[in-house]
Amino acid sequence: QKEVEQNSGPLSVPEGAIASLNCTYSDRGSQSFFWYRQYSGKSPELIMSIYSNGDKEDGRFTAQLNKASQYVSLLIRDSQPSDSATYLCAVNLIYGNKLVFGAGTILRVKS
Amino acid sequence: EAGVTQFPSHSVIEKGQTVTLRCDPISGHDNLYWYRRVMGKEIKFLLHFVKESKQDESGMPNNRFLAERTGGTYSTLKVQPAELEDSGVYFCASSQAGDGSKLFFGEGSRLTVL
């Protein structure tokens, strides 16, 4: 079992719709969770971090964490073509100060 | 403020040759990380420096890889001799916090070993 799992996609949504990206992790003791966005050939860019159960909103982005289910999600409201990118879920495992990444989900927003 | 810069952006070498990748972190960031993404796989941790000291090098694949951070500023990652399976994108990241959070990544150095 992979430590962090994501559906590779691509996930296609129409412009203006809500994009829902999901991630599960294996280490129940994980404390910190992150979503990075990566455009093709560019650096991963941190867009959301979440540390406690529930929802965290920042603009059009909402991160959701459910530690009991070991599940993290990212919702993107009013999706725009510029949101088309690979979204990487990353988890800071309890036993180290390093991030473990999922393989990423490709999001395509069609205008 | 300048971000994390990496050089070269792309390197093509023959199997058995040596390559050195360089990373300049954001000024003032004591923590510097190297990660690697091979084709179709996840980004994986290689090692973590705090200033000039190796905090965690558990992700280094084998002794063909040598990372240094002399003076706690820029870092180099040398692969010698390179093998085909070393091909991938090598990312450097830096942060102020040492807990693995809020990493700022460079655009990566793509290594192709033929």
pLDDT digits (tens, 9 = 90+) for B20-34: 999 999 999 999 999
A46–B103 CB contact, under 8 Å: yes
**Nearest C-alpha in B relative to A44:** B105
Mean pLDDT of chain A: 93
Q: How far apart are CA B37 and CA A89, in angstroms?
A: 14
User: Could you tell me the pLDDT band of residue A81, with boundaries at 50, 70 and 90?
Assistant: very high
pLDDT digits (tens, 9 = 90+) for B76-114: 999 999 999 999 999 999 998 777 778 999 999 999 999
Question: Considering only CA atoms, which of B19, B1, B44 is closest in space to residue B112?
Answer: B19
pLDDT digits (tens, 9 = 90+) for A17-57: 999 999 999 988 888 999 999 999 899 999 999 999 999 99
The answer to whether residue A41 neighbours chain B at the CB level (below 8 Å) is yes
B99–A44 CB contact, under 8 Å: no
Q: Which of B43, B102, B106 sits opposite A101 (nearest CB)?
A: B43
Q: What is the DSSP string of B55-89?
A: EE-TT--STTEEEE-GGGS-EEEEESS--GGG-EE
Q: Which of B55, B96, B101, B110 to probe the A interface (max A CBs under 10 A)?
A: B101
Q: How far apart are CA B109 and CA B105, in angstroms?
A: 11
